[in-house]
Amino acid sequence: MKTKFIGLLLLSLSIFSSCNKNDDDSPANADVRTVATTGNWRVTYFFDDNRDQTAFFSGYTFTFGSNNTVTAAKGSTTLAGTWATDTDDSKS
């Protein structure tokens, strides 16, 4: 169960992942970074593999740091990782 949760956590955080650090300075990314690093976050809906998997995140609070760190905390359990933003301006 914990392995599946970590996999889902990494998948959900992949929306913030980037292969090119230079993209982090774009205006759109600056806005996302400001919003993400303000306050704590929780997952209210997560759909994957054709089913609702929100329950895997129940009780977890996510905190995104301005230094690109992220923590997921639930009671005495804390998971740590990193995050980044990426914008593809070629998509419409």
Computed over every residue of the chain, the mean pLDDT equals: 79
Per DSSP, helices labelled H in 1-92 are 2-13, 27-36
Q: 54 is in which domain, residue-wise?
A: 2-82
Encode pLDDT of 42-62 as tens digits.
999 999 999 999 999 999 999
* Higher pLDDT pick, 83 / 23: 83
Is the pLDDT at 67 greater than 70, yes or no?
Answer: yes
Spatial distance between the Cα atoms of 75 and 12, rounded to a whole number of angstroms:
21
Q: Residue 71: inside a domain, yes or no? A: yes
Inter-residue contact 48 to 8 (CB < 8 Å): yes
Q: By percentage, how much of the chain surpasses pLDDT 90? A: 51
Q: Residue 88: inside a domain, yes or no? A: no
pLDDT at 18: 47
Q: Residue 63: inside a domain, yes or no? A: yes
Q: Residue 92: inside a domain, yes or no? A: no
Tokens, residue 5: 């949760």
For the chain, what is the domain count? 1
